[in-house]
Structure 1
Amino acid sequence: MEDKKTDHRVRYTKMVIKESLLKLLTERSINKVTVTDICREAGINRNTFYSHYANQFELLATIENDLYEEIKQLGINSSDPQKLSYELCKYIKANKTICEVLFSEHGDKELLERILYISHDLTIERWKQELKYFDPQLFESWYTFTAHGSIAIIKKWVSSGLKESPSKVAAFIDKATEAVSKAFYSEKS
C-alpha cells in the first residue's frame, strides 16, 4: 500500500512541476526560467525538483518527448496521412494548453517539425505507389515543402486560439498538400 501512495505522490509532484514550467513558459523563454522560479510556482523545494530533474532544460525536454511519443502513437496507428493530419489537429485541440505553450515562440522551434516528420515514411511510400517513377531527392523536397507549410498553418491556428475545428484545419492542410501533389502527378504521369 505504501508503494502506491509513494507512486501517487511522485506522479502528483511531477505533474505540478511540469504545470509550473508550462505556466512560466507562457511569460518567457526557457532560457529566462530558473529552477528557483519553477519551485516557487510549484510550491516545492529545490531538493524535490532535483530528485526528479537535473534542470529546467531536462524538464522541458521530458514534457516535449512525452508529447511527441503520444502523437507518434497516432501516426503508428494510422496508415493514411490525411487521417493522421486530422488526428494530429484533434490531439492539439484536446491538449490546447500544453500545445499553445510548446508551439509558441517560447517552446522548442523544432518540436512541431519532429512531429510532422512522423508521417514522413508513410507519405513517401504512398507517393511511390501513386506515381510511376521515383526520385528520392524530389520526394524529399516535396515532403519538406508540404511539412513546413503544414507547420505554418498549425502554428497560426494554435497562436490564434484554435478557433477553427480540427477537421477544418486538417482539411485545409490536406487540400493544400493535394494541390501540390497534383502538380507533380500531372507533370510526371
Structure 2
Amino acid sequence: MSEKLDHRKKYTRKILKESIIHLLGTKPISSVTVKEICEIADINRSTFYTHYQDHFDLLHKIEEEIVEDMSRYLQRYRTELDEEALKITEKILEYMIDHKDIIQALLSPNGSSAFEKKVMELTRLYMMNNLMNDNGIRQQESKYLSIFVISGAIHVIKEWLANDLDQPAQELAVLINSFVNEGLSYLEK
C-alpha cells in the first residue's frame, strides 16, 4: 500500500510540475494561479495544497531540485585544468539540453530571477573557482570577474535555448570558453 501511495505522490508532483512549466511558457509566475495549475494537471486544489503551500512554493521546489540535480551531475566532472573547463561547459550545456523545457521556462522572464542566481552560483563553483585560485586573483576581483563572466555565459545560453539549440553544445562550449579566455581579443581573429 505504501508503494502505491508513493507512486501516486510522485505522479501528482510530476504532473503539477509539468503544469506550472507549461504555464510559465505563456505568462509570468506572478500571474499564475493555483487554480490554473490544477485545471491543467486535472487535480483538485486540496490535493495541490497537500503537496505545496502555493504556486511559488512549487516553483521554488522545482528550482531546488534542478540545482541539486545539476550539482550532482557536475560533481562527476569537477576538474582543475583550463582544457577541462571546456568539458565542464559542455557538460552544463548537455544537462540543459536534457532538461531543455524546464530550464528554458525557469530562465525565462516568466520564471523567477532566483533560479538564474542559483545557476550562476553553481556555475561559479564549477567553472570559476579553480580558474581564479590558479591565477592568484584577489577575492574581491574574483567575485566581480566571475559575476561578469558567468552573467555573459548565462545570457548566451538563454539565447541559445530561445533559438532552439541552433548550435551543437560542443560548438557553443568552445565559443563561451573562447569569450572567457580571450575576451575582446576574440574579435581580432
| Distance across 2 between alignment mates of 1:12 and 1:110 | 26
TM-score (norm. length: structure 2): 0.87
Task: List runs of 5+ in structure 2 lacking aligned partners.
Answer: 80-84
| Distance across 2 between alignment mates of 1:33 and 1:4 | 32
Q: Is the 8 A contact 1:26 1:106 kept in 2?
A: yes
2:16 is the counterpart of 1:17: yes
| Higher alpha-carbon Rg | 1
Deviations 1:115-171 (A, max 9, x none): 132243452333332x3x442222222211111110110111111111211111111
Deviation at 1:83, TM superposition (A): 2.1
Which among 160, 171, 174 is matched to residue 174 of structure 2?
171
* Segment drifting more, 9-18 vs 110-119: 110-119
Q: 1:82 to 1:47 in 2, by over 3 A?
A: same
Q: 1:113 to 1:86 in 2, by over 3 A?
A: farther
Q: Is the 8 A contact 1:113 1:147 kept in 2?
A: no
Q: Is the 8 A contact 1:24 1:33 kept in 2?
A: yes
Which residue does the alignment assign to 1:160? 163
Which among 113, 117, 132 is matched to residue 127 of structure 1?
132
TM-score (norm. length: structure 1): 0.87
Q: 1:162 to 1:33 in 2, by over 3 A?
A: same
| Distance across 2 between alignment mates of 1:82 and 1:126 | 12
| Distance across 1 between alignment mates of 2:173 and 2:75 | 18
Which among 80, 85, 89 is matched to residue 89 of structure 2?
85
Name the aligned partner's letter for residue 116 of structure 2. L
Deviation at 1:100, TM superposition (A): 1.7
Q: Is the 8 A contact 1:103 1:111 kept in 2?
A: yes
* Segment drifting more, 112-121 vs 101-110: 112-121
Which residue does the alignment assign to 1:100? 104
Task: List runs of 5+ in structure 1 lacking aligned partners.
Answer: 183-189
Q: 1:27 to 1:105 in 2, by over 3 A?
A: same
Superposed CA RMSD in Å reads 2.0
Q: Is the 8 A contact 1:75 1:119 kept in 2?
A: no
Which residue does the alignment assign to 1:141? 144
SS of the aligned residue for 1:44 comes to coil
Q: How many residues align?
A: 180
Deviation at 1:39, TM superposition (A): 0.7
| Distance across 2 between alignment mates of 1:134 and 1:19 | 43
Deviation at 1:103, TM superposition (A): 1.2
Q: Is the 8 A contact 1:103 1:158 kept in 2?
A: no
